[in-house]
A = this chain, B = another copy of it.
Amino acid sequence: MDPKNYICPQSAIDSAIKIINFNSDGLVPAIAQQHDTGEVLMMAWMNRESITETLKNGLVCYYSRSRKKLWRKGEVSGHTQSLKDFRIDCDGDTILLLVQQIGVACHTGRQNCFFNSVVTDGIKVITDVKIDPKDMYNK
């Protein structure tokens, strides 16, 4: 689906929210995957409000558990995620967001958050920092 179509009607948003099994905190985990390469970028949490905003605007909005408020991904850094598809799993307790990542997904300046690989020696960092985090947050 083209991102502009994610100016979703309220009826579609209601259908989505109806089949999602939110946890006792009203949250559901959401995986962000780069739509054209398949790279898994990050995992974060969404609530009803962030899902509604995401489907209405076509720009991914999470819920920050630490800050206890909506987390409009890229609001500070400019590294937004445009929504390409919004998928819900078989038992409604996980979301898969297919996105176009602008810039990098990880706050460390790496393209994705999963850079610690477990190898026989222990933990190996397998991807390089692409953008200095200082340049992402102190503009």
Contact = CB atoms under 8 A, between A and B. Distances in A.
Contacts of A110: 90
Nearest to A55: B118
Given A31-B31, A37-B38, A96-B114, A89 B120 contact: no
Nearest to A92: B116
The range of chain A's interface size is 35 or more
Contact of A12 (B13, B94, B96, B119): B119
Interface in A79-137: 85-92, 94, 96, 106-108, 110, 113-123, 126
Instruction: Count this chain's copies in the assembly.
Output: 2
Main secondary structure on A side of the interface with B: mixed
Nearest to A31: B31
Given A88-B123, A94-B113, A8 B118 contact: yes
Given A31-B43, A39-B38, A114-B96, A12 B87 contact: no
Interface of A: 1, 5, 8-9, 11-13, 15-16, 19, 29, 31, 33, 37-40, 42-43, 55, 85-92, 94, 96, 106-108, 110, 113-123, 126
Given A43-B94, A91-B113, 19 more contacts: A1-B119, A8-B118, A12-B119, A12-B121, A15-B118, A15-B123, A19-B123, A31-B31, A33-B40, A38-B40, A40-B96, A42-B89, A85-B118, A87-B116, A87-B118, A89-B113, A89-B116, A90-B108, A90-B110
